[in-house]
Amino acid sequence: MNFGLSEEQELLQQTVAQFIENESPVTRVRELYDGDAPYDPAAWKGICELGISGLMVPEEFGGAELGLVDLALVAEVLGAGAFPGPFLGHALAVIALLEGGSDAQKAKWLPRLAAGDALGAVALGEESGAWDPAAWTGDVSGDAVSARKAWAPGAADADLLVVGVAGGELVLVEATASGVSIEPVDSMDRTRRFDGVVLENAPCEKLPGGAAAARRVRDAGLVLLAADAFGGASKLLQMTVDYAQTREQFGQTIAHFQAVKHKLADMAVEIEPARGLYWYAAYAWDELPDEAERAAAHAKAHLADRFMDLARDAVELHGGIGFTWECDVQFWFKRAMFDRAFLGQPAEHRERAARLGGW
């Protein structure tokens, strides 16, 4: 029995962290933040070349055939780097094919998605706030789908859309197909920009995995958000510790003041022990199917809330500068808002956790 990372997993995290340091430092994040392009295609290509686009894809389709634990470990590092790009939507589109795709669908899409030659995205949430698969309303008749899906990160650049429809199922829609229109929208988190997806009798293919596969995709999404939140919160904590040791008032760094030290200690106690929540949820998704849904709900609810709380504290401890556009803290503050809202608010998942716990 062990609850720790393997050497390969530690190396994976170090490799991605090194890549971010070289290719997507925070100065680059800022350029993109203030620009029109949602992300840097060269940086995304680099991520694909590291094998991350196909991390969970079977070797026969050109992937590394690893588990959600490994992908979540990557999500943590990308979260710490506030990496701008289509990682989340692409990862969930791949997982949808793995969990629910037919052999033909897998053979057609997985090699290209794994190599990064095609980009995937998911369109799950709706304007009404319907994140739960049971509440989706997209209408499939024959081989065509009509649906209005809000909050689809990276949809504008995607080649393949995985769309949630009535009955809690998923369909594949090619982005270039007739009847597909993308509605751009201004996004709070400019490192992961949303689009609306409107489908009017667009040609589609159902994923034979049905509602069960859709729930697995949702759960994997919750785990990846939880991992992102842990990475982002840990990064913000370190940034705030560093700031407190640099900023001087009353003739000394503010780190000397017990009010500041104690606040930082409390922030640390809120986030650092919670690392295992996303580890466990990812592990359960891979290995303990009976526990996976509840563990994912808990991980997302808890870590998204802790990230949001910590982001507020980080802004406060940075003082006036923390409230400005020029301060980097805002990148993570807004990622916290994304992690908290995307795929449903913490309260929704806590209620599910309670129900799944038998109370």
Partner 1 sequence: MDLQYSQEYEDFREEVKAFLAANWPLQGDEAQLGVKEQGALFRERAIAAGYQARGIPRKYGGSEQEPDVLKATIIGEEFARVRAPAEMRGIGPSMLVPTLLECGEEWQKEKFVAPTMKGEIHWCQGYSEPGSGSDLASLKTRAERVGDEWVINGQKIWTTGAHLADWMFCLCRTEPDASKHAGISYLLIPMKQEGIEVRPLKQMNGGADFNEVFLSDARTPADHIVGERGQGWVVSRSTLKHERSMIGDSRQSSLMFKGLVRLAKKLGRIDDPAVRQQLAELEGYVLAHQYSGYRQLTCAARGQQPGPVGLMNKLNSTNIGHRSARIALDLTGDAALLGPTPTEGNMYSGLGESAGWITQYMWSLGIAIAGGTANIQRNVIAERGYGLPRDAAAQTSK
Residues forming contacts to partner 1 in the complex (CB under 8 A) are: 1-6, 69, 241, 244-245, 253, 255-256, 258, 261-262, 264-266, 268-269, 272-277, 279-280, 283, 287-288, 298, 301-302, 305, 346-347, 350-351, 353-354, 357, 359
**Shortest CB 140 distance to partner 1, Å:** 34
> What span, in angstroms and rounded, lies between the C-alpha atoms of 304 and 324?
23
DSSP string, 223-270: HHHHHHHHHHHHHHHHHHHHHHTT-EETTEEGGGSHHHHHHHHHHHHH
**Shortest CB 327 distance to partner 1, Å:** 20
> What span, in angstroms and rounded, lies between the C-alpha atoms of 300 and 228?
10
Looking at the Cβ atoms of 140 and 274, the one nearer to partner 1 is: 274
Looking at the Cβ atoms of 1 and 42, the one nearer to partner 1 is: 1
**Shortest CB 329 distance to partner 1, Å:** 17
Looking at the Cβ atoms of 325 and 359, the one nearer to partner 1 is: 359
CA distances from residue 135 to 89, 165, 234 in whole angstroms, order as listed: 20, 9, 34
Looking at the Cβ atoms of 37 and 354, the one nearer to partner 1 is: 354
Label residue 303 exposed, middle or buried (CB < 10 Å: 0-12, 13-18, 19+). buried
> What span, in angstroms and rounded, lies between the C-alpha atoms of 326 and 26?
12
Looking at the Cβ atoms of 7 and 326, the one nearer to partner 1 is: 7
Which structure tokens are listed for 318? 């940075």
Which structure tokens are listed for 43? 């940086």
> Minimal CA–CA distance to 170: which of 219, 130, 204, 220?
204
Looking at the Cβ atoms of 165 and 274, the one nearer to partner 1 is: 274
Looking at the Cβ atoms of 67 and 210, the one nearer to partner 1 is: 67
**Shortest CB 145 distance to partner 1, Å:** 35
Looking at the Cβ atoms of 107 and 265, the one nearer to partner 1 is: 265
- How many CB atoms within 10 Å of residue 28? 16
**Shortest CB 255 distance to partner 1, Å:** 5
**Shortest CB 52 distance to partner 1, Å:** 19
> Minimal CA–CA distance to 113: which of 57, 192, 171?
57
Which structure tokens are listed for 290? 């009976």
> Considering Cα of 29, then 30, then 31, then 32, what sign does the dihedral take?
positive
Bridge partners, residue 169, by sequence:
165
**Shortest CB 301 distance to partner 1, Å:** 6
H or E stretch at 147: strand 144-153
H or E stretch at 281: helix 275-287
**Shortest CB 207 distance to partner 1, Å:** 29
